[in-house]
Amino acid sequence: MKKLIAALLVGTMVFSLSACGSKETASTDAATEAATDAAEGTEAAGGTLVMATNAEFPPYEYYEGGEVVGIDADIARAIAEDMGMEVKIDDMAFESIIAAVQSGKADFGAAGMTVTEDRLANVNFSETYAEAKQVIIVPEGSEIKTADDLSGKKVGVQLGTTGDILADDIEDGTVERYSKGAEAVQALVQGKIDAVIIDNEPAKVFVSENEGLTTIEDAYEAEQYAIAVAKDNTELLDKINASIANLKESGKLQEIIDKYISAE
């Protein structure tokens, strides 16, 4: 009986609304549309961000048990969590990251990426979250002691990295470009090249894994790492910057870095 009464009431309301004319119908439609928009807005507040990276750069990004982990990966997940979202990591060649961000294939790029003028011409960068420097890996006993000593030498770099950019300044040298930093180091171990220019923290990992190698410190000036975002996506850039500020203030950012890089 209650269901029958309710049905009759609903039917009466529907008849009344339809008999009232276009204004009431428009109001009902507007209310429905507003509710739909609100629901869609809530859904958009969640969602997934796609991060482009090159998971060949420990301790910033590398594979462990089939999952991409490291400083950049953990920071990206922390940023997404702070924004009420999730992150999907897309592993690709380093030189493809900026193009992926520009085209919208990825929402942002994080790969131990140094802020440079050339890159700023193509993407925007977030506030910096880490400082790094380039070093030179050489065999123990090498005659190479400074960056100037690379003149006339065969030097390995990872394609598209800061090391690749710096190698262009080597006089009378030969630059061998590899898709992965580990490939450049392996070529050094095999005696195919004389040195490798690469970021300091990955260099520590490669030297620890390959006996007979050492690094030349203070060969280059310090540089800043940041997250790359498309030029027209200022809204996302602002949100990422706000999350980075939150992570710095809470101590979470330093906690992530300390997890992978021990204080020395």
Q: Which residues fall within 8 angstroms of residue 79, CB to CB, at 6 or more apart? A: 87, 240, 243, 244, 247
The per-residue pLDDT for 46 is 67
Tens of pLDDT along 121-145? Answer: 999 999 999 998 999 999 999 999 9
State mean pLDDT over 90-114.
97
Task: Identify any residues that bridge with 89 across adjacent strands, giving them in sequence order.
Answer: 51
The pLDDT of residue 23 is: 30
From residue 164, how far is each of 26, 168, 181 by CA, in Å?
A: 62, 7, 11
CB 57 within 8 A of CB 181: yes
In this prediction, residues 18-39 reach a mean pLDDT of: 36
DSSP H helices, the chain, are 2-19, 22-45, 71-82, 97-103, 117-120, 162-167, 181-189, 200-209, 234-250, 252-260
Write the CA distances from 184 to 114, 153, 189, 257, integer angstroms: 19, 14, 9, 25
Q: Kindly report the number of other CB atoms within 10 A of residue 144's CB atom.
A: 19
pTM above 0.85, yes or no: no
Identify the pLDDT of residue 218: 86
Compute the average pLDDT of residues 89-106.
Answer: 97
